[in-house]
Amino acid sequence: GAALTGAAAEEAAAEGAAGAEATPTPDAAAAEAEPEETQIVLNCDDAELLEPLTTWSPDCVAQWAENMGYPQLKAAFLGNKLTGKGLEALSLETLEKEYGVADEHDRKTLAYTVKDMLRKDNYRGNTNDWQNFLLWLLPMLGVGKWLSMKYEKQLAKLMKKYRKWQEARAPPKPLNSEPVPEGETNDWIDGINADVGTDKPKSVKKRTKKAT
């Protein structure tokens, strides 16, 4: 009887130890419930973020979101493969419904920042266009100046021939020299130019009084 009682006690103790091992502690259960956060590695450096917005890759868009203080958007942007062109078309409604940005202030911050970047990109693009145009124009002006100096005489002859050709094609109209009817005056003849085309008036000697 004593031997049976001892064996039963040992079995009960073993079952209790097995139950204690099977039941997890609260801390262990919480650790198992929380999944480990995976580190997202982005292939985008700071130099790429200085390029125009429309050239950004999905990694650069995700990096921009993290720099703006919204790291929770990185996974969503990468999952949708959102590029810079897609970010350009992003609206407040899309940020709320598709990306879960519930706060209105946050949505406006993201949208207005994108608009500001686009405005700067457009201004920078226009400036670059003018710079490229001037860089192309200056050598052309130099070549034109050199050609004009080298072929100055030939160009003068060509211009002279061109003027003669223009005069032969459309000769100037002769001046109207119709006779003036009797009783009428001609301002050209009777006015300040009365001496043109007429006999010169005889000079009148001035008489000087002799001193008495």
When pLDDT is cut at 50, 70 and 90, the band that residue 45 belongs to is confident
Q: Determine contact, residues 123/53, Cβ cutoff 8 Å.
A: no
> Of 108, 65, 67, 68, which Cα lies nearest the Cα of 80?
65
Question: Is the four-CA dihedral 74, 53, 85, 83 of positive or negative sign?
Answer: negative
pLDDT on residue 57: 92
Provide mean pLDDT across the span 103-123.
88
Per-residue pLDDT reduced to its tens digit, 119-146: 887 776 555 566 677 777 778 888 888 8
Q: Determine contact, residues 58/77, Cβ cutoff 8 Å.
A: yes
Specify the 3-state DSSP secondary structure of 101: coil
Provide mean pLDDT across the span 13-26.
55
pLDDT on residue 124: 60
Specify the 3-state DSSP secondary structure of 87: helix
Q: Determine contact, residues 33/20, Cβ cutoff 8 Å.
A: no
Percent of the chain whose predicted confidence (pLDDT) is above 70 = 58
- Greater model confidence, 3 or 108: 108
How far is residue 79's CA from residue 139's CA, in Å, rounded to a whole number? 50
pLDDT on residue 103: 92
pLDDT on residue 142: 82
- Greater model confidence, 44 or 12: 44
pLDDT on residue 212: 46
- Does residue 196 carry a pLDDT above 80? no
pLDDT on residue 108: 92
> Of 90, 99, 96, 95, which Cα lies nearest the Cα of 56?
90
Provide mean pLDDT across the span 5-31.
56
Per-residue pLDDT reduced to its tens digit, 149-195: 888 888 888 888 888 888 888 776 666 656 656 666 655 555 555 55
pTM of the model: 0.43
- Does residue 7 carry a pLDDT above 70? no
